[in-house]
């Protein structure tokens, strides 16, 4: 990659492109010699006396089509004069341009952006004279210039030196991460109160850990509310076990998530056997459903069947893990969010887990606890305050957990006992 990135825009409106390029950060990058934007008019490469660039479509139909000759002549001329280019055609019939595409384009020092007008450019240009095609989105613009300018802004800001603070590109919406990207958290500035609307108090408290946790929560919640497609929730593991309390109703969404994640066994906790039936029906018998009246009972069964103490089992209070993993009210109502949260920083899901979902027994409303993947298998359980566990204890308890009348909190317990529940069920 060279120091200078050059965008060669091919258009019928070169002035519009050049004047926009002189504004804001992009204008500054031009002044500093980091970026160059050049516009070439197809019309300068016509040969007839009317300088016509378009003609009627073969086969009939509305509108006009840009002819291939002026387009290809323009490209060849610029390549001869200034060097080869990565040639991009702007068209609605193309993959959508996004941050990943911007990152890929940022690798090129010279990028040609071909802007159509009318009904577009003769398709032979796409077939034989370009390297890539992009659409700005599922809508029709009058021409490709706005799309070209959007691409120039998105790509050039990834170049070193263009942004004042290069860190911005790593923390902004759509930055690549394990399992996909997130939208950014909300941002606020002065005044603290605007027309009666306050800034979230956590941002004013100066507690950087709390601020970071709040921001992660917000980014996660927004992403799942608005752009779930940004997170590829891949199957975590065939050994993932999900347990839900009776208070959680089977829903089509739950069933879809269980199916998508190849969940083998479902444990319904804190309930009588009758409550198992709706889950059996909802899952059409495809998932094994086991009912346990309480976590304590589950523990006893695990011990009975396993013949010894299961190792490294712990539960933790939400506060103990705050900041380690984001927690939020959406976690309880949105199983996809929950499963996504199970990924470790490397994007890996846990090898085996039981998820116990429900209301929070510690009085913190609808909060979730996430175990960093793998961290509980090596005997280092996070401390859990009252009811804190050591690895010697067979199954950790937290306030309210033993009480089957109170549904347990959402917890992830890595038992390291792959397939145990399935075996339990087969045995019982």
Q: What are phi and psi of 353, to 5 degrees?
A: -160, 155
Residue 147: HSE in the Cβ half-sphere, 13 Å Cα cutoff: 29
Least Å from the CB of residue 118 to ligand SAM = 6
Q: Give Cα 212 distance to the centre of its chain.
A: 18
CA 157 – CA 166 distance, rounded (Å): 9
Count interface residues toward ligand SAM (CB under 6 A): 20
Q: Which of 123, 135, 53 is nearest to 90 (CA)?
A: 135
Candidate residues 40, 135, 169, 352; the one interacting with ligand SAM per rule CB under 6 A: 135
Least Å from the CB of residue 346 to ligand SAM = 36
Site for ligand SAM in 84-123 (CB under 6 A): 90-93, 115-117, 119-121
Least Å from the CB of residue 175 to ligand SAM = 23
Beta bridge partner(s), residue 231: 180
Q: Is 268 in the site for ligand SAM (CB under 6 A)?
A: no
> Cβ closer to ligand SAM: 143 or 323?
143
Site for ligand SAM in 144-173 (CB under 6 A): 144, 147
**Residue nearest ligand SAM (C-beta atom):** 116
> Cβ closer to ligand SAM: 142 or 390?
142
Least Å from the CB of residue 124 to ligand SAM = 14
> Cβ closer to ligand SAM: 116 or 291?
116
Q: For 22-122, where are the alpha helices, taking DSSP H only?
A: 24-31, 68-82, 99-105
CA 150 – CA 29 distance, rounded (Å): 15
CA 146 – CA 141 distance, rounded (Å): 8
Site for ligand SAM in 367-396 (CB under 6 A): none
> Cβ closer to ligand SAM: 117 or 261?
117
Site for ligand SAM in 233-262 (CB under 6 A): none
CA 256 – CA 206 distance, rounded (Å): 41
Q: Give Cα 150 distance to the centre of its chain.
A: 22
Site pattern 33..72 for ligand SAM (x: CB under 6 A): ----------------------------------------
Q: Is 140 in the site for ligand SAM (CB under 6 A)?
A: yes
Crossing angle of helices 295-306/420-427, nearest 10°?
A: 80
Q: Is residue 267 within 8 Å of residue 355, measured between CB atoms?
A: no
Q: Is 137 in the site for ligand SAM (CB under 6 A)?
A: yes
Q: Is 83 in the site for ligand SAM (CB under 6 A)?
A: no
Q: Is 136 in the site for ligand SAM (CB under 6 A)?
A: yes
CA 180 – CA 64 distance, rounded (Å): 41
> Cβ closer to ligand SAM: 116 or 361?
116
Q: Which of 101, 48, 107, 40 is nearest to 76 (CA)?
A: 40
CA 141 – CA 125 distance, rounded (Å): 20
> Cβ closer to ligand SAM: 57 or 200?
57
Least Å from the CB of residue 125 to ligand SAM = 10
Q: Residue length, the chain? A: 428
> Cβ closer to ligand SAM: 90 or 315?
90
Candidate residues 52, 56, 142, 168; the one interacting with ligand SAM per rule CB under 6 A: 142
DSSP 8-state class, residue 231? B
Q: CA triplet 222, 225, 230: central angle to 5 degrees? A: 75
Residues that bind ligand SAM (CB under 6 A): 90-93, 115-117, 119-121, 135-137, 139-144, 147
């Amino acid at each position: 990659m060279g120091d200078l990135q050059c965008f060669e825009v091919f258009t019928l409106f070169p002035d519009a492109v050049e004047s926009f390029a002189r504004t804001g950060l992009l204008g500054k990058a031009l002044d500093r010699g980091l970026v160059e934007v050049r516009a070439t008019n197809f019309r300068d490469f016509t040969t007839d006396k009317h300088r016509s660039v378009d003609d009627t479509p073969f086969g009939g139909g509305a509108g006009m089509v840009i002819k291939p000759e002026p387009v290809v002549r323009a490209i060849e001329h610029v390549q001869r004069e200034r060097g080869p280019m990565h040639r991009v055609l702007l068209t609605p019939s193309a993959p959508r341009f996004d941050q990943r595409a911007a990152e890929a384009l940022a690798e090129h020092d010279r990028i040609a952006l071909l802007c159509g007008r009318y009904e577009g450019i003769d398709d032979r240009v796409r077939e034989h004279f370009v390297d890539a095609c992009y659409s700005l989105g599922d809508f029709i613009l009058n021409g490709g210039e706005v799309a070209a300018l959007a691409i120039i802004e998105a790509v050039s800001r990834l170049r070193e030196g263009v942004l004042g603070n290069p860190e911005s590109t790593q923390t902004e919406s759509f930055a690549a991460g394990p399992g996909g990207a997130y939208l950014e958290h909300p941002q606020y500035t002065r005044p603290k109160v605007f027309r009666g609307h306050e800034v979230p108090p956590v941002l004013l408290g100066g507690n950087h850990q709390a601020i970071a946790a709040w921001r992660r929560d917000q980014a996660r919640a927004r992403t799942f509310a608005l752009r779930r497609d940004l997170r590829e929730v891949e199957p975590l593991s065939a050994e993932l076990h999900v347990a839900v309390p009776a208070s959680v109703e089977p829903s089509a969404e739950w069933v879809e998530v269980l199916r998508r994640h190849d969940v083998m066994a479902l444990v319904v906790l804190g309930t009588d056997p009758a409550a198992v039936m709706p889950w059996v029906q909802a899952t059409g018998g495809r998932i094994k459903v086991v009912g346990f009246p309480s976590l304590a009972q589950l523990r006893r069964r695990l011990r009975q069947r396993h013949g010894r103490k299961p190792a490294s089992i712990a539960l933790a209070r939400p506060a103990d893990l705050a900041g380690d993993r984001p927690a939020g009210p959406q976690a309880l109502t949105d199983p996809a969010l929950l499963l996504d949260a199970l990924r470790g920083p490397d994007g890996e899901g846990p090898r085996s887990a039981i998820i116990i979902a429900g209301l929070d027994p510690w009085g913190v409303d609808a909060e979730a606890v996430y175990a960093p993947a793998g961290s509980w298998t090596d005997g280092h359980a996070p401390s859990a305050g009252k009811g804190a566990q050591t690895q010697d204890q067979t199954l950790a308890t937290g306030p309210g957990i033993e009480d089957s009348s109170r549904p347990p909190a959402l917890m992830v317990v890595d038992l390291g006992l792959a397939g145990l529940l399935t075996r339990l069920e087969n045995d019982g």
